[in-house]
Each structure stands twice: as structure tokens, then as C-alpha cells.
Amino acid sequence: MLTCDRTLALLKEAGIPVVDSVFVPTEVGRDTDALFAAQVAAAASVFFRRDFDLLGVPPVGNVPEKYSGDSVVLKLFVSGFSHKSDSGFVALDLRGEEAVRESAMGMLSRVPEDCHIEGFLVQPMIRGGREVFIGAQLDAQFGPVIAFGPGGILVELLNGTDFLRPPFGKDEALLFIKRNAVFPLLSGVRGEKPADIGAIATTLVRLGEFMLANDGIVESVDLNPFLAFGAGSGGFALDARIKEADA
């Protein structure tokens, strides 16, 4: 599994949108957990101030529109712990720097000794949007294939994950989305407006290009969940993982 900051950097370079995040890495020589937690809380302040210029890059996915500015999500990356929430390394809806600091302290106290801590990821708390699953994997017979389907708990309800082999263009990606079981939910039920299907299609195309450019190097990519907002408002992944292929 690639590290969190490397994953975010690669996806940004590939034009695959992930919610704006600040990564605070472990630093060699940092004395105490308290100091680390304080630095994390300080980093979270950009979200509370809605000061997106400080992120150093223009926000992707129109974060300011989706983000109320009152709370953040904190994730701790520890090597060997891929299920962060099961291990208590994810905290949602943290309001204010003090809440972030306390949560960070609590997580650090739960890390078993001898485990390598990669660092903390701070993200704005996002509400709304429709969840889909976007992923990629290396198939033994057909090479890279891009996966798409219902996200969250619907993955199992609808059993609708489908695959598309790159390269493909945006129009072909749109045909692929339209044949999926999740499409009725994306096109809007009970007066709901349609989701930004174009943003999903663009992400699928770019993920396909990413897999071909890294053919044989990347084993799988998971963007789960990927949130699609209303038509024209874009979408982004809330979580991302890249697994390298065995050498």
C-alpha cells in the first residue's frame, strides 16, 4: 500500500479529484505526542477559517460550496492498519481546534508500540453528495480494468460493480455509467436533481489513463466513497488507496 501523502500526490498529478486534505507527517525528532497533536490542530485551522489559499493549491471539487466550515474529519495512518475506522483511527465531525487536538492525542495513545505512524490527514467534513464506488484493478487476463458501482452500503445491496477496460473516452464512460444499477439514483429519484455524471465519467477516464501509464506497477486503486454532487458541481473521493503490484 502506498503511503497517504504519496497516494494523494499521484492522484492530484493524474487529475483525479480527492477532497482537499492536509497531511501532517510524523517527523523524526518530534519530542512528544502533545506537540504532534498541537501541530495537527494548527493544520486543521485552515478549514475552520475557510482559508483555502493556505492549502497551497487551488481547491479541487469546489470544496468551499460543500463545506460548511464548522467541522473536520481526522484520520491517522499507521502502517499495517488498513481499516482505520475499525481501529479507532478515524474521527468525524470535529468542531474546533481543541476537539482536533484531543482526538489526535487519543488516537496516538491507541497506537501499539513498534508501529510506524505515517501521519494525520485532516479533511473538511462533507455533507450531501451521492456515494459511488470507483476503483481500478489489474486483471490477470485483461490487464487494467476500471471498476464502478454503487458506493457505501449499497455495494452489497445492489451487487452492481461493473468493469470497463481502458483506454476509453468520456462518451464511452457515460454509456458505462448509464448501464449501471446505480444510474437511477444518480439521475435523480423523487424530484431530486441529477448528480454530476460528467464528473464521474471524467474521473473514470483519468483513472483509466493512470492505470495504463502505470501498467504493471499499480495493482489496484480504491476511491471509496467517491461523492458526486449536483449536475455541474463536480465530485471527489473522500478516501483513496493505491496498492502496488508485486515486483
Partner 1 sequence: MKDRVSAVADLLSPHVVVHIGASESGVYPSDVFKSLASSPVTLYAVNPKRSEVFGHHCFSSVAELPDREGTEGKADLAIITVPAASVPAVISDCAAAGIGQAVVISAGFAEAGAAGRILQAQVEAFEDRVHILGPNCAGFANIADGIIATRMYSRPVAGKISFVSQSGALMMALHGAFAERGAGLRYIVSVGNQAGFRLSDFLFHFASDPGTRVIAAFIEGLPDGTEFVEAARRCLEAGKPVIAIKSGRTELGRKLAATHTAALAGEGEVFEAVCRQYGIILVDDIDDLIATSSVAAAVADSPVSRIAWISQSGGLGSLTGDLAKSAGIEPESFPPEFGISLNPVDVGGDKMRGAVVKDTLRPFLAHQGIDAVVLLFAKDPNREIEMETARNVVAARDESGKPIVVIWVGPTLSTLSTGSVASPALQVLREAGIPLFGSPGPAVCALGRLSAWRRFRKAWIASGASAGKGDGHAHL
For partner 1, the closer CB: 139 or 192 = 139
Pairwise CA distance, residues 136 & 208, whole Å:
8
What one-character DSSP code corresponds to residue 246?
P
Q: In angstroms, give the least distance from the CB of 179 to partner 1.
A: 7
Closest CB 175 distance from partner 1, rounded Å: 6
Distances (CA, A) of 230 to 54, 149, 215: 27, 18, 33
- Supply the minimum distance, in Å, between the C-beta of residue 146 and partner 1: 10
164 versus 185: smaller Cβ distance to partner 1: 164
Point out which residues bind partner 1 (CB under 8 A).
Answer: 139-143, 145, 161-165, 167-169, 171-172, 174-176, 179
Side by side, the strands of the sheet bearing 117-124 are 22-25, 117-124, 72-78, 90-94
Q: Which is nearer to partner 1, 105 or 158 (CB)?
A: 158
Quick one: 5 or 162, whose CB is closer to partner 1?
Answer: 162
* CA dihedral angle for residue 52, residue 127, residue 220, residue 85, rounded to 10 degrees: 100
Residue 85 beta carbon to partner 1: minimum distance, rounded to whole angstroms: 27
**C-alpha cell of 25?**
507527517
